[in-house]
Amino acid sequence: MKVLVEALAAEFGGIRTYVEHLLAAWESAFPDDDLTVLVPQGSDLHIAGHRRRELAIPGPDIVARPLAHTAAIRRLVAESDADAVLATLPNTSLRHPGVPLTVVVHDLRHEIRPEQFSRGRRLVRALAYRRAYALADHIVSVSQRSLDDLHRLHPGLRATPSTVVHHGADHVGAAAGERTGPAVAFAHHTNKNPRLVLQAWSLAQRRGIALPELILVGTGSERQALTEEAQRLGIADRVTMAPYLDDAAFGAVLAESAAVVFPSSFEGFGLPVLEGMLIGSPVVIGPEPATQEVAGGWASVAAVWTAEALLDAVVAGCAFDDDHLAAARAHAATFTWQRTAEQTRAALR
């Protein structure tokens, strides 16, 4: 099978993790397939053994990118004699590529949580995504939650063939750590609710409840504000503010984590849930559909979005016994990147 994989947006964060591990698993599972991967000029995206094609953007990005993108897709389909195109984000060619187009939908946060995006970014996403939806011959959604959102907000797409294909999580390995490190929480987007986590830790301190120390990963531009919040709450000495970590550094932190605290208010999938389970840590989430979907009943769930409810969930999670943690690991181990590659390929075919 010959596939053109459009990966122009896979430079950072979850989309990069998804694309890199999908491509590696595809090479292992289907070595006879011929994949051409389109990336931005100068990209360091790891594409396994597949063919790399880089796209230069001649001119202002907002105008030149869609036109260059469209021309490149049509040209590469012809050059590679592709059987299909896989767009790894709903931001692809303005014209149909001439062979079946499968579009991957990760989430619809810009429509459901518009306040988390600038007006310009919302507009660009709305225009690009709607065009991709209109051109798609098949839609792959990373969760049932995202597919349900898509069909609710764009009911006309119910007629477009669709498949739910979950991410893998086996890139973190399955060796249980000692759980002697801090609890891990996340701060790289507002939906990760880092302030709620800080409030729960502060509440525990006031009530004399012993919790592990805390590390907030991905603080970035919010580092100073979150540091000041931790100081105001009287827990600055128990919280480490960390930048966005590369895979190796994050894996090292995760392997020793006492718990993974992920009360995100909005997710398309929620990979840290499975990553935490696979390395044997208790996982704590909020009442959010995608994270509950992937947790499969093995996470501790806060009943509502309050510090008290989150603290209750953290205490319950830290009390999980070895049998519960082993069952959670077994559940998470079923989410493999090989399965993701196999199901994505089946959707393309």
In 10 A of CB 39, how many CB atoms? 21
Element (H, E) at 343: helix 337-348
pLDDT in tens, 60-69: 666 677 888 8
State which fold the 2-168+337-348 domain adopts.
Answer: Rossmann fold (3.40.50)
24: helix, strand or coil: helix
Same fold, 2-168+337-348 and 175-332: yes
Asked if residue 174 has pLDDT above 70, the reply is: no
| Residue 43 pLDDT | 94
CA distances, 318 to each of 100, 199, 252, 287 (Å): 48, 18, 20, 18
CA distances (Å), 49 to each of 27, 119, 170, 247, 346, in order?
A: 7, 39, 20, 20, 21
75-93 confidence digits (pLDDT tens): 999 999 999 999 999 988 9
Distance CA 35, CA 57 (A): 22
Q: Could you give the percent of the chain with pLDDT greater than 90?
A: 81
Domain residue ranges of the chain, discontinuous segments joined by + = 2-168+337-348, 175-332
Average pLDDT of the residues of the chain: 93
Beta bridge partners of 37: 5, 52
| Sheet containing 214-217, strands listed edge to edge, beginning at the edge strand earlier in sequence | 239-241, 214-217, 183-186, 260-262, 283-285, 300-301
**Model pTM?**
0.92
**pLDDT of 110 higher than 80:** yes
Task: Calculate mean pLDDT across residues 276-297.
Answer: 96
- Between 307 and 116, whose confidence is greater? 307
Task: Kindly tell me if the per-residue pLDDT of 340 is higher than 90.
Answer: yes
Q: What is the pLDDT of residues 311-334, one digit of tens each?
A: 999 999 999 999 999 999 999 999
Question: Strands 214-217, 183-186: parallel, antiparallel or unpaired by DSSP?
Answer: parallel
Banded model confidence at residue 130, pLDDT cuts 50, 70, 90:
very high
Percent of the chain with pLDDT over 70: 97
- Predicted confidence at residue 122, as pLDDT, reads 86
| pLDDT at residue 210, rounded to an integer | 95
Q: Could you please state the CATH topology (level 3) that the domain comprising 175-332 is classified under.
A: Rossmann fold (3.40.50)
pLDDT of residue 189: 80
- Cβ-Cβ contacts under 8 Å for 327 (sequence gap 6 or more): 298
**pLDDT value of position 65:** 77
Residue 270 has pLDDT above 80, yes or no: yes
- Give the pLDDT confidence of 179-221 residue by residue, as tens digits: 889 999 999 888 899 999 999 999 999 999 999 999 999 998 8
